[in-house]
Chains A and B, each alone.
Chain A
């Protein structure tokens, strides 16, 4: 018995001469929060649409729960899938509650759950308002509620926090955490890499229709061998000694302000640098070690392909 919920094998999508998706092989495990990142036009949304059966693959196979993404049998699988598209377009003439009722009927979900879903995404008070009067953030919340109809086992969320305020983003990830505890598998894309780096189990970095890197955030960092960032706070009398120590280690200061300095440290030199800094004694008041951000990783992989 495999624990792969989504299996993608040799999938291509061609538009004329353009390879929007170019030979993707990917497994997504049940219960996983999987991130799909990449620059605009990398093929994320096309891959999303193929996983949902909205676009046929030019070649290759996609299976969800062991079921090919086409035909009558996939209709049943669709009942357990929630989808929030990137460019969410709802029906302006319907109220929030009517919108959920409409999609609940199509999905075969219990309409009685709609008010509770609206409450869950913070739209209980706007349930009877027409969608045309909703803000962008409210529409996004309604779209998320729609994706949650029928207690899906698999969620596809394309840029789900578009238009949400910071409070809304926190609420969104809180709901997502609850869902994951219930075993829901989530596949999401986001341009805000800082937002997902602490939350995804694994991610795939797409570039020019291909998967350029795949793994946990930590594995991707290590794959790039990006330097760590160290921030050191010091007393004024220790500045000269600190500079001397860093120079001896061949490390260049990135930024120095009154009482603090920030510099890049090769991962393999981390212990040597920390040991050298510890020898400076009480002139140092604090040391922070920062892993490279997902954005750094993303840019690092981008540079890899730049001639």
Chain B
């Protein structure tokens, strides 16, 4: 087992981060987040016949829906070819001929891309947050900061999955296919499956088991983390019936998200080795 040289990780991470800054990826994604966040915060209640700034609970509930669709997709697109592209292009051999281990390359790639995602997420939502706090008052700041942090964690979960895909896939084409399939599964299909399970079992399913199933999807963990704190919104989502309050501890849910970051990365490191 080789000792980890953090300076090598920093070199790879620095290059990945600078590449994303240079090709304006970070700027573009940050702009998307800011614009969508402001539009949703202002027009989110248009269906109810009203527009304008509302309270922070409802605003965050609206933003959660946006983040659940958008952030996983962006993270998967960012990371799906991290390793496979280097392998396919032929630059991986040259990289690995340097005094660097495969694990350091992997961690460097992940860290650099995570940095780019972090700047885009915190920058994009942060900019929107400044305006929201101005409109909704300082009390909103705490909740909004938690929302941004959890959005960043969600992006890291899917980035970790993407990096795992980039190690496992044989070529970029397959990697992109798997990444899109993962997005469909976790963001669109998974909750429908759970709902179907509830309906098919006609209420016979042990609800104690249900929170575990929800924890198997980082997007659901993110949703619970952000929605559970707001009584009104929680009732609208119907979460109180399927997710026990004792499990809705932010630290526990945050730890579950950290697990979702570490586990796929661990699989990637094992396979890449």
A: which residues have CB within 8 A of B?
A: 49, 52, 54, 71-72, 75-76, 78-79, 81, 83, 85, 87-91, 93, 102-103, 105-108, 143, 146
Contacts and interface: CB of A to CB of B under 8 A. Distances in A.
A79 B97 contact: no
17 contacts: A52-B97, A54-B96, A75-B99, A75-B101, A76-B99, A78-B97, A85-B90, A87-B90, A89-B94, A90-B91, A91-B15, A91-B19, A93-B19, A106-B8, A106-B95, A106-B98, A146-B94
Contacts of B3: 72
Contacts of A108: 99
Contact of A75 (B2, B22, B90): B2
Interface residues of B, number: 22
Nearest to A81: B97
B23 interface: yes
Given A54-B97, A90-B94, A106-B95, 13 more contacts: A52-B97, A75-B99, A78-B99, A85-B94, A90-B91, A91-B15, A102-B11, A106-B98, A106-B99, A107-B98, A108-B99, A143-B94, A146-B94
B15 A102 contact: yes
A79 B15 CA distance: 20
A264 B169 CA distance: 56
B7 to A, nearest CB: 8
A162 B243 CA distance: 64
A159 to B, nearest CB: 13
Contacts of A79: 99
Given A71-B2, A72-B2, A93-B22, A106 B100 contact: yes
Contacts of A81: 97
A108 B98 CA distance: 9
Contacts of A52: 97
A91 B100 CA distance: 18
B93 interface: yes
| Dominant secondary structure of chain B at its interface with chain A | helix
Contacts of A143: 94
A93 B101 CA distance: 24
A85 B93 contact: yes
B89 interface: yes
Contacts of B93: 49, 54, 85
Contacts of B90: 85, 87-89
A93 B23 contact: yes
Most buried by A among B8, B89, B94, B95: B94
Contact of A91 (B2, B5, B8, B91): B91
Interface in B179-205: none
Contacts of B101: 75
Contacts of B91: 89-91
Nearest to A76: B99
Nearest to A75: B99
Contacts of B97: 52, 54, 78, 81, 83, 85
Contacts of A146: 94
A269 to B, nearest CB: 49
A141 B86 CA distance: 21
A200 to B, nearest CB: 22
A296 B79 CA distance: 51
Contacts of A75: 2, 5, 99-101
Nearest to A55: B93
Interface string B1-44: 01101001001100100010011000000000000000000000
A81 B5 CA distance: 19
Most buried by B among A72, A79, A83, A89: A89
Nearest to B5: A75
Contacts of A76: 99
Interface string B77-96: 00000000000011101111
A108 B10 CA distance: 13
Given A72-B2, A102-B11, A83 B94 contact: yes
Contacts of A54: 93, 96-97
A89 B89 contact: yes
A136 B94 CA distance: 17
Nearest to B97: A83
A72 B2 CA distance: 5
A264 to B, nearest CB: 43
Contact of A78 (B11, B19, B89, B98): B98
Interface in B93-147: 93-101
A49 B97 CA distance: 9
A88 B94 contact: yes
Nearest to A84: B94
Nearest to A80: B99
Contacts of A87: 90
A72 B95 CA distance: 17
Nearest to B94: A85
A105 B19 CA distance: 16
